[in-house]
Copies of this chain bind each other. A is one copy, B any other.
């Protein structure tokens, strides 16, 4: 008897390299129940995702934990890096891109808003000044992002969202004209024009810092409200502080909304 199998290839895979707030979880020297939890899903490195299609591997943000994250995922290739914004928890691992430059023996395409790129150039001036273009040094190939762009078969649509006093980028990922996922790691609000761009999105990944409101981040309830307003088919919460334990917070959520955790891989 022959077994028929329909193999459905994922259009896009997203792996959470980190799901923590700027201090990660546990916080240093914190004895709260979440920081002392034995649940590995309560161990959160700084927020970052890896986006993979069959032809391209894209890193979003270079956290201070990048080396640890790359080792944990056995990451061996990066085709490009895109940045949401220049806060330290999203850029401090920039120098660790050197290894990927060395492995591929080429500069690393780096995509960021003009403001974020200017911050990267200031903080990591030695990488951009062209005077240290050694094989095993970080060699960025800068691309300023002001409009949608493509990396291989993946279309990447930047969307500005407010994060404290700044505007930062969220990104919408599409393939073959179909929006598949949106990533808004740091925002305290998602404006109606951005909601309109992600209506019915299969996967929304959204900032949910804690229960209490915060001037720069969405609270859990606010994140749920964004997911509802966008009619997201599924939503994953990220950039999570130590107020939200994985297990008990999960019980508060509807089935199509989950807390992300480090190492979680979504296939879309």
Contact = CB atoms under 8 A, between A and B. Distances in A.
Nearest to A76: B29
Nearest to A35: B71
Given A64-B64, A64-B93, A67-B64, A88 B28 contact: no
Contacts of A28: 67, 70-71, 75-76, 96, 99-100
Nearest to A43: B71
A27 B64 CA distance: 16
Nearest to A73: B28
Nearest to A26: B71
A23 B92 contact: no
Interface string A67-81: 110110011100000
A65 B71 CA distance: 13
A122 interface: yes
Contacts of A76: 28-29
A67 B98 contact: no
Given A75-B29, A95-B88, A95-B92, A24 B67 contact: yes
A138 B101 CA distance: 31
A64 B95 CA distance: 10
- Tell me how many chains of this kind the complex includes: 2
A2 to B, nearest CB: 40
Interface residues of A, number: 32
Nearest to A74: B29
A128 interface: no
Nearest to A136: B23
Contacts of A67: 23-24, 28, 64-65
Contacts of A124: 88, 123
Nearest to A67: B24
Contacts of A70: 28-29
A42 interface: no
A207 interface: no
A96 B64 contact: yes
A68 B45 CA distance: 9
Interface string A119-133: 000111100000000
Interface string A89-121: 100111110111001000000000000000000
B95 A93 contact: no
A23 B96 contact: yes
Contacts of A92: 64, 92-93, 95
Given A29-B74, A64-B65, A88-B95, 10 more contacts: A23-B67, A23-B96, A28-B76, A28-B96, A64-B66, A64-B95, A65-B67, A92-B92, A122-B123, A122-B125
